[in-house]
Homo-oligomer: A and B are copies of this chain.
Amino acid sequence: MMDTKTESRIQVIDRAAMLMEAISRYSKPVKLKTLSADTGLAPSTAYRILHSLISNRFVERDSKGDYRLGQRLLQLGNRLHTDIDLRAVSLPYMEALCKQLGETINLTIREGDVVIYFEKVTPNRMMHVNQIVGSRAPLHVTAVGKLMLGLAGEEAIQAYASRTNLPAYTRNTLSSLPELEEACMESMRQGYALDNEEAEIGVGCIGVLIYDRSGNVSAGLSVSAPIERRKDEWIAELKRAGEDISRQLGYRPDR
């Protein structure tokens, strides 16, 4: 019966979910009687389920004994691992940066040997760098890709070079392993990377990494501009934005 395949099969989990949903509909803590009525459960049943939820911190009781949602939901909610959160958290910073710097801001995610353009914010000027969301670029020709490789270490860089043969995209592409290694490690040390017309002639980028709560790289953030417009003073702004986004995703550098 395929259409029931993903349907809930455990009654008490459904009931627990109903109770939490009922609580969430109220802006103030709720009485047991109200929850029992809202869910159609016997008061004793509602009582037992609620107290199991309390033990697991999904629900709390206030000083009067009324029920409200518990902190565990907030904690687990903060740990959701979806691209949606990354995008939602990053977009305001990207918009602010785009406004401030007047150039295109890209958000990318690593997928194997490429980065995927996951989101972008473009400036309101006729001449600006435009990357298609969803498109891909090899790691070695992007600023953030070189940082990701640098983070992975020299062996990973060597393996990448073997797999891909470092195809040249422009006369500036780093096509030799020593060159790439040096660039990646240098990027790691300084906390940002540059793309000096390595992917496309005329286009220069500055990139930083975004870390998540587990300390892993979540994404790359970069500003792309016509090479003659790129400015070194943007580095600090981009670094700050990357740090702020990371922090909001739960990253703690001291851990």
Report A's interface with B, CB cutoff 8 A: 6-10, 12-14, 16-17, 20-21, 24, 26-29, 48-49, 51-56, 58, 60, 68-82, 85, 212-214, 216, 218
Contacts and interface: CB of A to CB of B under 8 A. Distances in A.
Copies in the complex: 2
Given A74-B80, A216-B27, A10 B12 contact: yes
Contacts of A8: 51-52, 55-56
23 contacts: A6-B51, A8-B55, A10-B12, A13-B52, A13-B53, A13-B56, A14-B56, A16-B16, A17-B56, A17-B58, A24-B76, A28-B81, A29-B81, A69-B79, A69-B81, A71-B80, A71-B82, A73-B73, A73-B80, A74-B77, A74-B85, A75-B77, A77-B77
Contacts of A13: 12-13, 16, 49, 52-53, 56
A17 B216 CA distance: 23
Contacts of A52: 8-10, 13-14
